[in-house]
Structure 1
Amino acid sequence: MTAENRTADQTSTNLGILVGYDGSELAARALEYGATEATRRSAALTVVAAYTVPAMIYPNIASMPEENEEQVSLRAVEKLLGEAAGLLRDHVGRVSYRADRGDAAGVLKDLSAHARTVVVGARGRGGFMGRILGSVSTALPAHSHCPTIVVPGHRSEADDAPVVVAVDGSDAGRLAMFTAAEVASSRNAALNIICVLPAGEEWLYWYPELELSAEVSDRRKKQLEEALEAEVAAVAQQFPDLQVEAEVPIGDPTEILVEAAATAQLTVLGSRGRGAVRSALLGSVSRGVLHRADGPIMVVPS
């Protein structure tokens, strides 16, 4: 098998579901997940492996290898893509394979402009996701042009589990909500919309002069529930066959969403919301859930 080596602007306009593959166990899990997602959404599947060429200095011609470093790297990547093709031998949809030179996160970021969704494993061999839940865990979801799904390797998702989405009244949260609704509809799954009301203790830590009471919390909770009713109605209008539920739990947003992700088939987050530093590329809640959740997480760029 020969891998295609192209730049992003030479690709077709739609790479469909884009999966980063580096031969690791979790990359294989991401490949399986991406193939299923492509089938659900009747989308093309693109598998990409990245490679870099080290800068070498040779003291003389005699010390130069017969085959240059780029050829060696490309051959190794083509072997990886051959392994991926073997794993996808039963996939009935359209699949394309490509080898792109460059840093893994940068390759994925550039190609995401031509994809519907990017799927990666939570960790890998140091190529695509060796740094995920490290630097790439924030770099890729924060910079991707399309939604990114990070897939763990230690849990299978129940088909009857809901898709969970977190909203906070921000535009990013609303975009995540409608993206989650589309995904839930494609999976014939229920959608659970969660808007977390932070506990009063968190506010008092930063603003000790505030006078918070159970009455104030109850009033704010009711306001959020009323706002969520309008959001549920908006989703139902666009997805009339979708089962939608909404809740306003009180507590730490990260803790509550990590708990929800443990039983959801997918948890959807906006890349940033109403945090104090709204310009941050990946909000603290999204980052915290991404690092700690046991289930698949989708981050939707704003």
Structure 2
Amino acid sequence: MSEAGNPDAPRFPQGRGIVVGVDGSDQSMCALAWAVQEAERRRTPVQVVTAYTVPVFAASSMDAGYATVDDSVVREGAQAVLDQAVQRVAGRHNVELVPRVENGDAAGVLLELSAEAELMVVGSRGRGGFVGRLLGSVSSALPAHSKCPTVVVPLSCASRLEEAGVTAPTSKGQPSPRADEVEKVVVVGVDGSEQARMASLVAAEQAQARGLPLRVVCSLPPFTGSLAWMPTPVDRDALHSEIMVQLNAGKAWLQSHFPDLQISVELLDGPPVEILIEASRKAELVVLGTRGRGGFAGMLLGSTSQGVLHHARGPVLVVPDREDPRLLDRARFGPMAS
């Protein structure tokens, strides 16, 4: 069972603090470096968490039963990984670091902690520094089920993060941008769904807190042979105009809640995954909903969010479904996808 239920373990009040999962991989070091920078901006503490499980093996002798690895040995290995990670970022920022070693499945531990955190941060496709640590599965499971927003930080962010202490890989022969080459903008992908509207509110909050403009992006994927059954040709220009009306209405709605924020909207032709992956390469932050319902053109379905997370070149914030009173007045500002 996770030590998160232990009253003696360090805890933050609900809705406070950033929780970051580490496992000794370069990916998790990028996540930790990003989390520390974000925590300094928010003036909030960071829980640096690693988890371990004790493997059980079937007995090899004729005797019935099972053999287990000594818990203390595995825990010491986990503690060593955690200590090394914390030492690499300690003292670089004015941030309180709270190290935690938890006994349990990594995804389960982090999901439990998400109920008391304001933000979860994990690396993308970590490979695990010791037994039982596979952040690759965590970075897929956590955003979809977390109780708070989750940021997935890919290894390609290393060139932006001096504290990571690792080398960013190249993509198609092109190096990842350095911190001074990152475009100072927050990008949010929308598709007309309620989930996307929630994501746009959180994206606007992030942009305003950072003093950056917000770019609202929607994609119109190319039509394929799958639409050959339709009785009449699709008027793409008319569809484009209709979507732009909805996007501008959405912009007006956002502007009413964030009057001082610079907001722009873009409707781009192309597959949504490719468009958002390209945006992630230089944007300060890309924001997505956990899933959409195809309000515009099927954008931001669960598969789209997964596709972006697995191939993003920069940090991606995934916003879970939740109720927000600001969603109730969207219809007053003009047409919206039903």
**Fold in common (TM above 0.5):** yes
**The 10-residue stretch of structure 1 (245-254 or 171-180) with the greater mean CA deviation from structure 2:** 245-254
CA 1:222–1:8 in 2, change beyond 3 Å: closer, same or farther? farther
For residues 1-302 of structure 1, what are the structure 2 equivalents within 5 Å? 6-8=3-5, 10=7, 11-14=11-14, 15-55=16-56, 69-90=70-91, 91-126=93-128, 130-132=134-136, 135-155=137-157, 156=160, 157=179, 158=181, 160-199=183-222, 201-202=223-224, 204-213=225-234, 216-275=235-294, 283-302=302-321
**The 10-residue stretch of structure 1 (218-227 or 265-274) with the greater mean CA deviation from structure 2:** 218-227
* C-alpha contact 2:23 2:135 (8 A) present in aligned 1: no
TM-score scaled to structure 1, two decimals? 0.84
Distance in 2, Cα, partners of 1:210 & 1:265: 44
CA 1:147–1:282 in 2, change beyond 3 Å: closer, same or farther? farther
Aligned-residue offset at 1:240: 2.6
* C-alpha contact 1:129 1:136 (8 A) present in aligned 2: no
Aligned-residue offset at 1:33: 0.0
Distance in 1, Cα, partners of 2:186 & 2:101: 33
What secondary structure, in the 3-state scheme, does the structure 2 residue paired with 1:43 have?
Answer: coil
* C-alpha contact 1:121 1:129 (8 A) present in aligned 2: no
Distance in 1, Cα, partners of 2:275 & 2:237: 18
What secondary structure, in the 3-state scheme, does the structure 2 residue paired with 1:230 have?
Answer: helix
Distance in 2, Cα, partners of 1:54 & 1:47: 23
* C-alpha contact 2:22 2:29 (8 A) present in aligned 1: yes
* C-alpha contact 2:193 2:294 (8 A) present in aligned 1: no
CA 1:256–1:209 in 2, change beyond 3 Å: closer, same or farther? same
Distance in 2, Cα, partners of 1:111 & 1:209: 48
1:152-189 superposed Cα distances (whole Å, 9 cap, x missing partner): 12232545431111111111001111111111122222
Q: Which runs of 5+ in 2 are unaligned?
A: 62-66, 161-178, 322-338
**Aligned residue pair count:** 284
Distance in 2, Cα, partners of 1:79 & 1:9: 21
Distance in 2, Cα, partners of 1:283 & 1:192: 21
TM-score scaled to structure 2, two decimals? 0.76
Distance in 1, Cα, partners of 2:313 & 2:182: 16
Distance in 2, Cα, partners of 1:43 & 1:212: 54
Distance in 2, Cα, partners of 1:173 & 1:205: 25
Distance in 2, Cα, partners of 1:282 & 1:130: 25
CA 1:70–1:106 in 2, change beyond 3 Å: closer, same or farther? same
* C-alpha contact 2:283 2:314 (8 A) present in aligned 1: yes
Distance in 1, Cα, partners of 2:42 & 2:150: 15
Cα RMSD for the two superposed structures: 2.8
Q: Which runs of 5+ in 1 are unaligned?
A: 60-64
What secondary structure, in the 3-state scheme, does the structure 2 residue paired with 1:298 have?
Answer: strand
Distance in 2, Cα, partners of 1:129 & 1:289: 23
What secondary structure, in the 3-state scheme, does the structure 1 residue paired with 2:293 have?
Answer: coil
| Structure 1 moving runs of 4+ over 6 Å | none
* C-alpha contact 1:152 1:296 (8 A) present in aligned 2: yes
Structure 1 counterpart of 2:226, one-letter code: Y
What secondary structure, in the 3-state scheme, does the structure 1 residue paired with 2:119 have?
Answer: strand
Aligned-residue offset at 1:79: 1.7
